[in-house]
Structures are given as structure tokens and as C-alpha cells.
Amino acid sequence: MPVTDINEFHAAFVAAFQARDVEALLAMYEDGAVFVARPGTVVSDAGGLRQAIEGFVGSGFDLNLTTKDVLVKDDVALLRGQWQLKSGDLVMMSGDTVEVARRQADGSWRYAIDNPFAA
């Protein structure tokens, strides 16, 4: 389901991740979006993005994502957050994310840039 309120973007991402809905997650990225799959590895093609998202979802871990900032200028938004991939109470991975989302012609927001390893 398209996200039309940028302040709900992270919550929608977490909901799709927890549902293990790869297609819903991929729909949150615009064509040619840049994604940092791991530090030093950037993908911007559909196949690379799918492989990276499937890898994260396929880990079986739960995602926690806390939004720190949402700044909007016209049709561009900068989001920052802190995330954790958890197995029960055990934190398997964590990081700080910086993302750029762009409002699409239909009013929905999609990632243009997603760097979950920004810091």
C-alpha cells in the first residue's frame, strides 16, 4: 500500500518487513533507487535491490526502527533513524540510517536513497 504521509514511512517499512513482504518493501523504492546493501556495497538496479532486501528479510530477524528526523522540502524528504535487527532480545545488527524519499506523481513517497549504514 503506498505511503502518502511521509511521517508514516518508517512504520510502513517496519510493518512490511515484519510481514516478510518483499514485494511491499520493493514497492517503497523508486526505479533506480540507491541502496547501501552493506558498508561499501551500493546497488541501484532492480535485481541488486531485490537480492539485498530478500537477504535482510530472509534473515528471520525482527526489525526495530526509531525515527529521529523527518525533514521535508517540497517533494523531497530526508529521514534519519536508528535500527536494530533482533532475534528475541539479542541484537544481531544495528545502525543509523539516512534516507532520501521523493514524492511520486500519485502522491506516494518512495526511497530515492536508502543508506542503513550511514554512521
C-alpha cell at 96: 543509523
Cβ count within 10 A of residue 78: 15
Query: Residue 119: pLDDT above 90?
Result: no
**Does residue 96 contact residue 77 with C-beta atoms inside 8 Å?**
no
Regarding pTM above 0.85, the answer is yes
pLDDT band at 1 (very low <50, low <70, confident <90, very high): confident
pLDDT at 30 (0 to 100)? 97
**Which residues make Cβ contacts (< 8 Å) with residue 49, sequence separation at least 6?**
26, 29, 33, 35, 43
**Which residues make Cβ contacts (< 8 Å) with residue 80, sequence separation at least 6?**
67, 68, 69, 96, 97, 98, 99, 118
Of all residues in the chain, the percent with pLDDT exceeding 90 is 93
Domains of the chain by start residue, with CATH: 6-115 (3.10.450.50)
